[in-house]
Homo-oligomer: A and B are copies of this chain.
Amino acid sequence: MPAEIIDGAAVAAKVRAEVARDAAALATRGIIPGLTVVLVGDDGASAVYVKAKEKACHEAGMHGETIRMPASTTQAELLAVVDGLNADPKIHGILVQMPLPKQIDPQAIIRRIAPHKDVDGFHPVNVGKVLIGDSDAFAPCTPWGALVLMQAYNVSTAGKECVILGRSNIVGKPMASLMVQPGVDATVTVCHSRTKDLVSHLRRADIVVAAIGKAEFVTGDMLKPGAVVIDVGINRVDDATAKAGYKLYGDVHFPSASEVASLITPVPGGVGRMTIAMLMKNTVRAASMVLA
């Protein structure tokens, strides 16, 4: 029996509806949640993504704005913009779009963002709070979105074997932090490029989270029958027959994996749809903390 396919767009729409409702409630108390995205340079993919974030803010009744800076921006100039946003009471969330031009150290920028406005969840304070399990942590949007997808489909996680492929600071590590917490309670294994027998781990996994950036790496024969498969990979593969000149593939080979899994995310239309929704959610949380 082929796997049920997780509808990322539907779950994201539900999260956005909650966000819009929360934003409306805050508005009655005089607070319009505000998100500023800072875009440095003219990377095409980043520009598209940033536009989508601004649109999502407006649809949710939030204040969303984008600050565009040239590719020649210095680190000092960007830090000054971050300082201004940290001090601006109308702005509750700050996101500096990555990647940054090479003259700017991304860690220096991330550490400068006020932790209570760090809706992207990459400041060390928030990374630490997520691992500790603090309720006021901002979790990074993509792994949190992956967890919310599982919860939306009533995936049982307690005592389940969760195998995470990839140990990036953006996905693999924070995903492990989220899955091991009391309340989620998965038994978590983090695999990576140095792991010796990746397939033996995959074959015992009840839940697989793939985030290694290798197109169609995980095939159906590597999976335990009935596994839940969450594909965080978004890989561009050149394809002359495609209008854009490329096609998007996940880290999972969908045709074979969907024959073995019980539940699976597609790419696109899966985890990728959740990222902006969770960013909105974090921004509304940041705004509501002003009242606390």
Contacts and interface: CB of A to CB of B under 8 A. Distances in A.
Interface string A69-104: 000000000000000000000000000000000000
Contacts of A196: 159-161, 187
B192 A190 contact: no
A2 to B, nearest CB: 27
Nearest to A123: B128
B190 A167 contact: no
Nearest to A129: B124
Task: Using C-beta atoms within 8 Å of the partner chain, give the interface range for chain A.
Answer: 20 to 34
A187 B187 contact: no
A194 B185 contact: yes
Interface of A: 107, 123-129, 131-134, 158-161, 167, 169, 173, 176-177, 180, 185, 187-192, 194-196, 201
A192 B187 CA distance: 7
Nearest to A167: B180
Residue with the greatest number of chain B CB neighbours at <10 A, chosen from A125, A159, A196: A125
Nearest to A204: B200
Contacts of A123: 128
A289 B230 CA distance: 42
Given A126-B128, A128-B127, A131-B128, A187 B185 contact: no
Q: Which 10 A-B pairs have the closest CB atoms?
A: A128-B128, A127-B128, A124-B128, A185-B194, A189-B189, A187-B195, A159-B196, A159-B194, A124-B129, A124-B125
Given A127-B132, A159-B196, A176-B180, 13 more contacts: A124-B125, A124-B129, A127-B128, A128-B131, A159-B195, A167-B180, A173-B177, A176-B190, A180-B190, A180-B192, A185-B192, A187-B191, A187-B201
